[in-house]
Amino acid sequence: MLDPQDIQQLCVSLGGVAHTRELTAKGASRHALHEAVRAGRLDRLRMGVYCVPSLDTAVRSAIAHGGALGCASAAQRAGLWVMPHDGVHVWMTATGHERVHSPCTCVVHWDEGVGLPAPHGGCVSLFHALKQIAQCCGEEAFFVALESALRQRRISRTVLARLKTSVPREIAPLFALAADNADSGLESLIRYRLARLGIAVAGQVEVPAVGAVDLIIGDRLIVELDGKENHDGARKRHKDLRRDALAAPLGFEVLRFDYPMVMFSWGLVEAAILGKISAGAHETVAGRRMRATTRP
Ligand SMILES: [Zn+2]
Ligand SMILES: [Zn+2]
């Protein structure tokens, strides 16, 4: 008979979440499952579904609700940068039914999963999650998650092409804008928002003597972004000031924004960028002359 530790390993090998039938098919008797729960090696999530004790709370909620973690919640758990979202997004399979559990903050998706891989470890596939984000969270959230997936090389060209034909038609043009070099979700977000204003922005540009900068508008307006993960204050500030000082004699202007500014004070960020652009801070004199002479 499999002992509780064996049963836990078995559950891990099945993705950390398993139905009774999957576990018994691999040689675990019902009595052994009971013993594994008693020994603290397995948790019983609901009737017929077990998980390893370390399973995170979002997946537990989705399963307790009767489905699998989906949409932005699944993309976040898979390690993508996603926009802040409320609740736990849950995909209900076609044959599933919702269950009462507490606390329930679930945002439920009933889309068909025909032709898609079955959930693994209590989560939908990344393809399925991105498709749901496109339908549930809007263009901006989809773009940010898509660029994060591209940056992390998490979706193949084939999957990307399939995704393009699976999302709402109005979202398809975003695929042409999406790049695979965005260093953070903030970078994706700012590029998306400026593109909507008709402002082209290049990401992760190598500037001589300075190094890679997050974004450049035109020839010389650098936009640097500080993610919320940057906590090493004084050292980081010194490094940033030094980069700005190196960029200045080369004719670059630098704007810096942090996570709260981009996420919660976009008006301020947009006004700062548009102000610099209208003052010509993004163009060199030569660039301006060239554009003037080539303009029809
Ligand atoms: Zn959703
Ligand atoms: Zn729920």
Cα–Cα distance for residue pair 257/34, rounded to 1 Å? 54
Ligand nearest to the CA of 138: 1
- Half-sphere exposure of residue 196: CA atoms within 13 angstroms, side-chain side: 11
User: 126-136 and 138-151 helices cross at what angle (nearest 10)?
Assistant: 160
Question: 117 pLDDT exceeds 90?
Answer: no
Query: Is there a contact between 8 and 37 (Cβ–Cβ < 8 Å)?
Result: no
Give the per-residue pLDDT at 295. Answer: 54
CA of 61 to the centre of ligand 2 (A): 6
Average pLDDT, integer, range 75-84 = 96
Ligand nearest to the CA of 46: 2
Mean pLDDT is highest, among 112-126, 205-219, 262-276, for 262-276
Cα–Cα distance for residue pair 142/192, rounded to 1 Å? 11
CA of 69 to the centre of ligand 1 (A): 10
Q: What is the pLDDT of residues 10-60, one digit of tens each?
A: 999 999 999 999 999 999 999 999 999 999 999 999 889 999 999 999 999
Give the per-residue pLDDT at 237. Answer: 86
Give the per-residue pLDDT at 208. Answer: 87
CA of 104 to the centre of ligand 2 (A): 4
CA of 88 to the centre of ligand 2 (A): 8
CA of 90 to the centre of ligand 1 (A): 7
Cα–Cα distance for residue pair 133/127, rounded to 1 Å? 10
Give the per-residue pLDDT at 284. Answer: 72
Give me the torsion for CA of 268, 274, 278, 282, rounded to 10°: 110
Tokens representing 181 are 């070099």
Question: 215 pLDDT exceeds 80?
Answer: yes
Complete edge-to-edge strand list for the sheet that includes strand 17-19: 17-19, 49-51, 43-46
Average pLDDT, integer, range 123-134 = 96
State which H helix or E strand residue 117 sits in.
none
Question: What is the overall mean pLDDT for the chain?
Answer: 91
Ligand nearest to the CA of 98: 2
pLDDT band at 235 (very low <50, low <70, confident <90, very high): confident
Question: 231 pLDDT exceeds 70?
Answer: no
CA of 167 to the centre of ligand 2 (A): 26
CA of 89 to the centre of ligand 1 (A): 5
Q: What is the pLDDT of residues 131-140, one digit of tens each?
A: 999 999 999 9
Average pLDDT, integer, range 262-291 = 85
Cα–Cα distance for residue pair 163/140, rounded to 1 Å? 16
CA distances from 51 to 3, 219, 274 (A): 16, 54, 52
Ligand nearest to the CA of 70: 1
This prediction's pTM: 0.88
Cα–Cα distance for residue pair 147/83, rounded to 1 Å? 12
